[in-house]
Structure 1
Amino acid sequence: PEEGVMDRLQQAIQKAREERENRQLPPQQPPEEFQVEPEESGADPWAAVPEIKIKPRLISRNRLVSYGGGQAAGSYDMLRTKMLQQILSNGWRRVALTSPYSGCGKSTAAANLAFSLGRQADLKTIVIDLDLRRRGLADILQQTGEHSMADVLQGSVAFRDHGRRHGSNVIFGLNYAQTRNPAEILQSRRAIEILEEIEAEFKPDIILFDTPPLMVSDDSHGFLKNVDCALLLAAAEETSIDHIDVAERQLAELTQVMGIVLNKCRYISGAFGNDQGYY
């Protein structure tokens, strides 16, 4: 009888031990056919970005002179080379394009620089339109969509889904609608974190930011401290020397001034080795 009692006691102990161990086990994984495979570590995020389509008639109508290269692109190719020399010598990556006021051709210059940099096959460039009060680059490139960079910077849309790729080494981040509170978005910690995440995922060599005019609002003033340098664009026969001087001093307080570009020049008589009049 004692042996029977001991056997039942041992069985009860063993059963209690098994139940305790079962409670500590991790939840059972779903069947293999329902498991989601993680993204392959070697996948290229650039290839996953939808490709942009530029209508041929826009090239001349919207002054996209750098799109096809050749002599017409000479001025922007020269600007590209001068810019790259400073970027490489100083270890810069983030470059802002700004102007004293609107109408200086800033967004057109950003588009042309993007196409010029795109012909440098060993460089990866991201162009982000941060002039959130208008469509800017989206109008120049005649692109439409549901979201804007404001949505990306607030974390509601992923950049890989919002961006549009030109060739294999240029990605545009465009605005398809105006934003009501651009200054607050651009100056937020969340926006900076999103930009750092974009850099970490895509690892660009250069990021061009088309930023708001300096003397119109405070939109860019809180953001420009986060770039490495900036180009100041002025319009020939439109932007006064006083406005250029004030804008340059404001810009120098926020970041490194890479240089001043006099845009919309009509008469240069080959002084810089070309007659296109865009630099």
Structure 2
Amino acid sequence: MALKKNNRKPIMNNKRNLITMFDPKSPISEQYRTIRTNIQFSSIDSEVRTLMVTSTGPGEGKSTTAANLAIVFAQQGKKVLLVDADLRKPTAHYTFNQTNTFGLTSVLSKQMTLEKAAEGTNEKNLFVLSSGPIPPNPAELLGSKAMEQFFKDAQEVFDVVLFDTPPLLAVTDAQLLANKCDGTILVVSSGKTIKDHLVKAKELLDAAQSKLLGVVLNNKEMKETNYYYYYGEK
């Protein structure tokens, strides 16, 4: 499959969001690489190729985490597709300075092939599939047979496929993808995420028979170090 490259540079405001691209030697970038390593060791018998990144609620950093994880996997030499599966409040096209006139919804509705819809980035081996036009029925699309076919098609082309999904407690969209992915990463925000909400999110993932690989604690300032991200096994 011949995928198109994108030579446009991410806008300056995204330097902080895409720290693994703009400052790969920073302590935070190192933490993303640690998360990558832990993901790869989390399943010895079968490689994790489809990964869902979600959170309990909005504003906890799931989209930033998904984008940077996609970058560090690509920096490892893997061919990576970041899919903006948040069909209600998509952000990937802003992060990577791309348009959103077509994307995942265009592929699922068979208006465009994955080959044409996925856009290259300035990071070698990383491609982004934005959400596309926001549909009136996001949950139905994500739970459709077309979505099952998308999983098969994407894995034929890419080594790793990461899905940035809506928050678990907001809508059912993430649960629909949870049991289709090889694993799930749950992002929580230090001092913001409510414990009861975290417990409820875990229950929803269990009900969906999702494999929770671990939790990323975001926005936690460590006293002894400059690290702000921490990864812990469940």
| TM-score, length of structure 2 as denominator length | 0.88
Moved more, 175-184 or 207-216: 175-184
Q: Give the conservation status (yes or no) of the 8 Å contact 2:105–2:132.
A: no
Q: Cα offset for 1:246?
A: 1.1
Name the CA shift for 1:140/1:168 in 2 (closer, same or farther; >3 Å).
Answer: closer
Match of 2:147 in 1: 191
5 Å-filtered alignment, 1:89-238, equals 89-121=45-77, 123-166=78-121, 167-200=123-156, 202=157, 204-238=158-192
Q: Give the conservation status (yes or no) of the 8 Å contact 2:118–2:128.
A: yes
Q: Cα offset for 1:53?
A: 2.6
Q: Which amino acid aligns with 1:142?
A: N
Which of structure 1's runs of 4+ aligned residues deviate more than 4 A? Answer: none
Q: Give the conservation status (yes or no) of the 8 Å contact 1:59–1:67.
A: no
Q: What secondary structure is seen at the aligned counterpart in 1 of 2:93?
A: helix
Q: Deviations over 1:112-137 (max 9, x none)?
A: 1111112102x222111111112221
Q: Which amino acid aligns with 1:178?
A: I
Structure 2: which 5+ runs fail to align? none
Q: Which amino acid aligns with 2:117?
A: H
Q: Which amino acid aligns with 1:277?
A: Y
Q: Cα offset for 1:251?
A: 0.9
Q: Give the conservation status (yes or no) of the 8 Å contact 1:153–1:194.
A: yes
Q: Give the conservation status (yes or no) of the 8 Å contact 2:51–2:161.
A: yes
Q: Cα offset for 1:52?
A: 5.2
Q: Give the conservation status (yes or no) of the 8 Å contact 1:80–1:113.
A: yes
Q: What secondary structure is seen at the aligned counterpart in 2 of 1:221?
A: helix
Q: Cα offset for 1:199?
A: 2.0
Q: Work out which of the two has the higher radius of gyration on C-alpha atoms and give 1 or 2.
A: 1
Q: What secondary structure is seen at the aligned counterpart in 1 of 2:56?
A: coil
Q: Following the alignment from structure 2 to structure 1, what is the Cα–Cα distance between the partners of residues 183 and 36?
A: 14
Q: Give the conservation status (yes or no) of the 8 Å contact 1:147–1:162.
A: yes
Q: Which amino acid aligns with 2:94?
A: D
Q: Which has the higher helix share?
A: 1
Q: Deviations over 1:165-223 (max 9, x none)?
A: 234422111125422210010011122113312222x1x22211111111111122222
Q: Following the alignment from structure 1 to structure 2, what is the Cα–Cα distance between the partners of residues 141 and 51?
A: 10
| TM-score, length of structure 1 as denominator length | 0.75
**Residue 249, structure 1, aligned to residue 200, structure 2:** no
Q: Which amino acid aligns with 2:161?
A: I
Q: Cα offset for 1:243?
A: 0.9
Q: Which amino acid aligns with 2:18?
A: L
Q: What secondary structure is seen at the aligned counterpart in 2 of 1:258?
A: strand
Match of 2:227 in 1: 276
Q: Give the conservation status (yes or no) of the 8 Å contact 1:50–1:163.
A: no
| Alignment RMSD | 1.9
Q: Which amino acid aligns with 1:116?
A: V
| Residue identity (%) | 25
